[in-house]
Structure 1
Amino acid sequence: MSGSTSNTEPDVNFCFPVRELENDRAKLTPFILYEYLPFGPFASAADYTKELIEGRIAPNPGIVLFAIIDKTRSPSPSAVPSSVDFAGTIGFLNASPLHLSTEIGFIIVLPPFQRTHVATNAFGLLLHYALDLPSASPPGLGLRRVQWQANAENSTSIKVAEKMGLKKEAVLRWDRVLPEGKGKVGNGKRVRGGDPRSGAPGRDTVMLATYWDDWEGGGKEKVEQLMDR
């Protein structure tokens, strides 16, 4: 189940071509507006758009965000997506045309769509788009590497990546400083006395990745089997 791409290229600031990606279960459409989003924690749709979409994603050509649409809940294939079938977000970040690589991130699956086909199909569509060759049908980007970063304490996220064929490469210790109040998702280690941000916990990050040769050596078929379940 390799999915398909549409011929319409939306006007987004991304370093690779961007298309809608879909199969018979899910559709990824470039997330440009707040049209389908029914959740916070932002105070309003305007705040979400200003802080994340306009503030972080739109100015950075290495990032693109997709809205995940659950096609199994749409009344018809031609129906306009709405909050009923808006399942979450997923995207590419740290994309590099020079090094033919990208990272999958920004994955948020809303509670009604968790433990369903949604996450697997969204993840699989992006893997196909990233790693399939431009000569494939539908065409891919022909990248050599797709990576994934997860909080070392987030075993669920790590298991999802491993299920999709990504392999652990490293643990980046003290990789990030988390906001104060995020102690439960920190690395659980005490910071030293006199630390400039002593109230903010640290995060260890697990780096996982898959590659074109793993993809063509059976990885693609494994992902398609997961998407077909």
Structure 2
Amino acid sequence: MTDLSNWQPLGWFPPATLEGNFTRLERLTVAGHAAALHAANPTDAAHWAYMPYGPYPDLDVYRLWAAGAESSDDPVFYAIHGPQGWGGVASFMRIDRSNGVIEIGNIALSPGLQRTPASTEAIHLMIDHAFAAGFRRVEWKCNAENAVSRRAALRYGFTYEGTFRQHMVVKAANRDTAWFAIVDGDWPRLRAAHRAWLDPENFDTSGRQKESLAELTAR
């Protein structure tokens, strides 16, 4: 059993920004991000199928949601800047300072941000910040039917820990929740894999990756 007799609850406060080579994250605000985010994301229900929020048929409705997100202490929402401008959101959530556990969730990426180095780096920056701040465990949870999110978790190096059946009711439907996590002992190896993937030398002149992140994190 690990000795945690010196463990102290974290005095962590969310950063205003996180910045890398491909992306920038800023605490989400209505004034700074709502219009661009609404314009970047589809309004059809399919795009928001696995999210607890959305869709947003017009900007006024999206602004109302963004106002709530801006004022929230948990989740703490960030806007994600990509190759086409502000295109996505993600949050730190279920923040447990006493036990050093935090979740990254509420991830909604526009078509222009999906499958880009910017979106990968955004999640990397959030994970890296959490461990640098002293968290012991970073969690990723998703609807068990969301194959895209499950693959993404494994690609980043999260370990699948099981499925909680009938865990939630979301949009008048049952949700079984798949749980994944990275713990602090995993992170040095995974961080090196992330950094190797994000290295400009890993991309050819057309922007295609030479090695996949899944290959690097599996080593």
Q: CA RMSD in A?
A: 1.8
- Confirm whether residue 214 of structure 1 aligns to residue 214 of structure 2: no
Which of residues 168, 172, 178 in structure 1 aligns to 2:170? 178
Which of 19, 22, 33 aligns to 1:22? It is 19
Distance in 2 separating the partners of 1:59 and 1:20:
16
- Structure 2 unaligned spans of 5+: 1-11, 44-54, 203-219
**How far did 1:59 drift?**
4.9
8 Å CA contact 2:70–2:77 kept in 1: the answer is no
Counting matched residue pairs gives 172
TM-score relative to the length of structure 2: 0.72
Instruction: Give the counterpart letter for 2:89 in structure 1.
Output: T
1:130-209 residue pairs with structure 2 within 5 A? 130-132=130-132, 141-179=133-171, 200-209=172-181
> Are 1:68 and 1:86, in contact at CA under 8 Å, matched by a contact in 2?
yes
CA contact (8 A) 1:165 1:223 kept: no
- Report how far residue 209 of structure 1 moved: 0.5
Q: Quick one: distance in 2 between partners of 1:163 and 1:131?
A: 18
Instruction: Indicate the residue corresponding to 1:114 in structure 2.
Output: 114
Deviation above 3 Å: which 4+ runs of structure 1? Answer: 57-60
Seq. identity, %: 28
Taking structure 1 as the reference length, the TM-score comes to 0.69
Higher helix share: 2
1:23-172 map, 5 Å: 23-33=20-30, 34-37=34-37, 38=39, 39=41, 40=43, 41-50=55-64, 52-55=65-68, 57-70=69-82, 73=83, 84-132=84-132, 141-172=133-164
C-alpha separation in 2, matches of 1:29 and 1:61: 15
Secondary structure of 1:175's aligned partner: strand
For 2:91, the aligned partner's letter is G
Q: Secondary structure at the match of 1:149?
A: strand
Q: Matched residues in 2 for 1:103 and 1:118: separation?
A: 20
Query: Mind listing any 5+ residue stretches in structure 1 that lack a counterpart?
Result: 1-14, 74-83, 133-140, 180-199
SS in 1 for 2:16: coil
- Matched residue SS, 2:185: helix
What SS class does the counterpart of residue 148 from structure 2 fall into? helix
* Structure 2: distance between partners of 1:174 and 1:30: 32
Q: CA deviation at 1:225?
A: 1.9
Equivalent pair of 1:150/1:205 in contact (CA under 8 Å): yes
Distance 1:116 1:207, change over 3 A: same
Checking the alignment, whether the CA contact within 8 Å between 1:62 and 1:96 is kept in structure 2 is no
